Amino acid sequence: MPTFQTSPGTRDILPPHAARSREFSRVFAEHVESAGYECIVTPMFEDLGVFQRLGDATDVVTKEMYDFFDKGGRHIALRPEQTASVCRAFAEHRPTPPWKVWYSGSNFRYERPQAGRFRQFDQVGIEVLGVDDPMLDVEVIALGWKFYTLLGLKDVELVINSLGDAGDRENYVEALRIYFNNCIDQLSPEAQSTLLKNPLRVLDSKREQDQVIISGAPIISSFWSQSAAEHFTAVCQGLDLVGVPYVLNEKLVRGLDYYRRTTFEYISRALDSAQNAVGGGGRYDGLVEDLGGPPTPGIGFAIGVDRTLIACDVEGCFPFGSPKIDVFVIDTVDGTHALLVNTSLRDAGFSSDRAYDNRSMKAQMKSADRSGAAFAVIIGSNEIEQSVYTVRNLGSSEQFTVAIPDLLTFLSTHLGPRRRNTP
């Protein structure tokens, strides 16, 4: 047993998994940047108050926050998500709207670890501040949808709903409170305690016992204001127009309290139903104001990186790329030739690696094969005497004798030119 292991709910992401996560973020960045979104980086921790605005009836705020007092006596929390931080940044810096940003990074929630649920997990996401237009909702939802298809996922379902405007939502919550209280004895003990905190969340219960009661509950659409209803109709029509398939679900309420109007979730049908949400988002039209900024509409989504990659594994898509290098340098003389050749190769823009500790020719050849390099440059005493290198194509096993000054030209001819790394 090693002395230390990772804390529950955290993991080391080892090679090649870490490279795959990085590639995931790269594909996401390219995708959303092509739609006008710019990268934002916010701190991993903030004043606890920033996240308390997410709502005092959500588990994320009441139970799952990693909060502590720093040495200056400030009450700090590790971010459980990034929407609140983006809104805080907007209120603090007041950029000109519309502000279209994307992010990528870790979040922290003290949850019960299980498959697909971690205490430190990564999300990529976008947020747009300052636009009311339902066409933006369509753009945002469709960008998330398209990203899953770029990964090669086929079994993702988009579920959408509207929570109405601020007043509509409060009226609906009140109606649910009355309804559930009238049949409280038939609810599971868990749903009964959820009811005390937030009747909306009872709709999320997956317990068999609660399903009949939930199916008879009031539905949100009866509480929509005229403008919320029109907004939602426009969103649905826009999604139809761009051919993004969706399922309407009036029970979709989402975890965080700040959502208004459009809410949506991306569900992987390839995953176990307990943890099958691979992303989600919605409008949060009051959040910037709550954080001290001007009244500003907002919408965004977050995609769970870890869980989406699990869905990719199940569906057999978005494979690991094998890291490839151009050249592996084998030096059986004293190791300094490999040092010099690698330096000049890397300066010339080639990727290259080597073996260490003066290992045998055979051992170095094995490392070269394992590295996936296209060519091995072999330097032994014979080569040094004749001022040449032996260059071996590791794919075809063909060997060439190349004069020392001609090595870069030889490699450029066979591998294509590289951009030089030094001025």
Which CB atom, from 203 or from 379, has the smaller least distance to ligand AMP?
203
Q: Using CB positions, name the residue nearest to ligand AMP.
A: 304
Q: How far is the CB of 395 from ligand AMP (least distance, A)?
A: 40
Identify which range of 145-153, 286-294, 302-310, 371-379 contacts ligand AMP by CB under 6 A: 302-310
For 31, the token pair is: 């995708």
- Contact predicate 231/76, CB 8 Å: no
Q: How far is the CB of 160 from ligand AMP (least distance, A)?
A: 14
Q: How far is the CB of 260 from ligand AMP (least distance, A)?
A: 15
Q: Does 306 bind ligand AMP (CB under 6 A)?
A: yes
Mark 237-256 with x for binding to ligand AMP (rule: CB under 6 A) and - for no binding.
------------------x-
Mark 90-109 with x for binding to ligand AMP (rule: CB under 6 A) and - for no binding.
-------------------x
Cα 98 to chain centroid, rounded = 23
| d(C-alpha 228, C-alpha 252), whole Å | 16
What three-state secondary structure class fits 209? helix
Mark 51-90 with x for binding to ligand AMP (rule: CB under 6 A) and - for no binding.
------------------------------x---------
User: CA angle, corner 264, sides to 316 and 314, nearest 5?
Assistant: 10
Which CB atom, from 100 or from 109, has the smaller least distance to ligand AMP?
109
Size of the site for ligand AMP (CB under 6 A): 16
Q: How far is the CB of 255 from ligand AMP (least distance, A)?
A: 5
SS3 content of the chain, % helix, strand, coil (to 5): 40, 20, 35
Q: Does 127 bind ligand AMP (CB under 6 A)?
A: no
Which CB atom, from 62 or from 382, has the smaller least distance to ligand AMP?
62
Among the listed residues 280, 293, 297, 300, the single contact to ligand AMP using CB under 6 A: 280
Q: Does 111 bind ligand AMP (CB under 6 A)?
A: yes
Q: Does 161 bind ligand AMP (CB under 6 A)?
A: no
Which CB atom, from 199 or from 279, has the smaller least distance to ligand AMP?
279
Q: In a 10 Å sphere around its CB, with 0-12 CB exposed, 13-18 middle and 19+ buried, how is residue 423 labelled?
A: exposed
| d(C-alpha 191, C-alpha 186), whole Å | 10
What three-state secondary structure class fits 244? coil
Q: Does 118 bind ligand AMP (CB under 6 A)?
A: yes
Task: Find all residues with CB under 8 Å of 31, minimum gap 6, and list them.
Answer: 143, 146, 147, 150
Q: Does 278 bind ligand AMP (CB under 6 A)?
A: yes
Which CB atom, from 65 or from 355, has the smaller least distance to ligand AMP?
65
Q: Does 282 bind ligand AMP (CB under 6 A)?
A: no
Q: Does 302 bind ligand AMP (CB under 6 A)?
A: yes
Task: Find all residues with CB under 8 Å of 164, minimum gap 6, and list them.
Answer: 172, 220, 223, 224, 225, 228, 260, 261
Which CB atom, from 118 or from 180, has the smaller least distance to ligand AMP?
118
Which CB atom, from 81 or from 315, has the smaller least distance to ligand AMP?
81
Interaxial angle between packed helices 17-33 and 305-315, expressed in degrees from 0 to 180 and rounded to the nearest 10: 110
What three-state secondary structure class fits 87? helix
Mark 254-273 with x for binding to ligand AMP (rule: CB under 6 A) and - for no binding.
-x------------------
Identify which range of 91-99, 154-162, 304-312, 374-382 contacts ligand AMP by CB under 6 A: 304-312
Task: Find all residues with CB under 8 Å of 251, minimum gap 6, and list them.
Answer: 161, 203, 204, 214
Which CB atom, from 93 or from 112, has the smaller least distance to ligand AMP?
112
Among the listed residues 304, 332, 348, 376, the single contact to ligand AMP using CB under 6 A: 304
Task: Find all residues with CB under 8 Å of 162, minimum gap 6, and list them.
Answer: 220, 221, 224, 228, 229, 231, 232, 235, 261, 262, 263
Q: Does 214 bind ligand AMP (CB under 6 A)?
A: no
Q: Where are the alpha helices (DSSP H) in 275-421?
A: 287-290, 305-315, 336-347, 361-371, 381-386, 407-415
Which CB atom, from 195 or from 309, has the smaller least distance to ligand AMP?
309
| d(C-alpha 121, C-alpha 36), whole Å | 26
Q: Where are the alpha helices (DSSP H) in 216-317?
A: 226-241, 287-290, 305-315
- Contact predicate 190/205, CB 8 Å: yes
User: CA angle, corner 321, sides to 320 and 324, nearest 5?
Assistant: 145
Binding site for ligand AMP (CB under 6 A): 81, 109, 111, 117-118, 121, 123, 255, 277-280, 302, 304, 306-307
